[in-house]
Amino acid sequence: MYTGKVEGTVVSTVKSSGLEGIPLLVVRLIENGKKTGLVIAADATRQAGMDDFVYLIGSREASRMFRAPFVPVDAAIVGFIDRYYEEL
């Protein structure tokens, strides 16, 4: 599980059928209070927006967040962080 901040959205012309209706977001990862690389994550909660702090899961667990038997996802947003106390 890791944390990040939503910095944008992804527009996709073609998606896997298991991802229809699920937004893809650009998330800046946060490690030890410092912003690191970008990741594109599927929004399993369908409610995350710009500047939200979120936590994500990766790998096989991320694909199990969705109803389809196998969804090609490497990262999924699964929750929100209400307050982030480290300086960024």
Q: Judge whether 53 and 3 are in contact, CB under 8 Å.
A: yes
Instruction: Return the pLDDT at 48.
Output: 92
Q: Is the pLDDT of residue 87 over 70?
A: no
Q: CA-CA distance, 46 to 78, in Å (whole number)?
A: 9
- CB-based contact 16:71 (threshold 8 Å): yes
Average pLDDT over every residue of 64-83: 85
pLDDT digits (tens, 9 = 90+) for 19-68: 888 889 999 999 888 889 888 888 877 789 999 999 999 888 888 888 77
pLDDT of 78 above 70 = yes
* Domains of the chain: residue spans and CATH: 2-13+20-75 (2.40.50.220)
State both tokens at 69.
């038997």
Torsion over CA: 47, 11, 73, 16 (sign): positive
Does residue 84 have a pLDDT over 80? no
Spatial separation of the C-alpha atoms in residues 16 and 39, rounded to whole Å:
18
According to the model, what pLDDT value does residue 88 have? 61
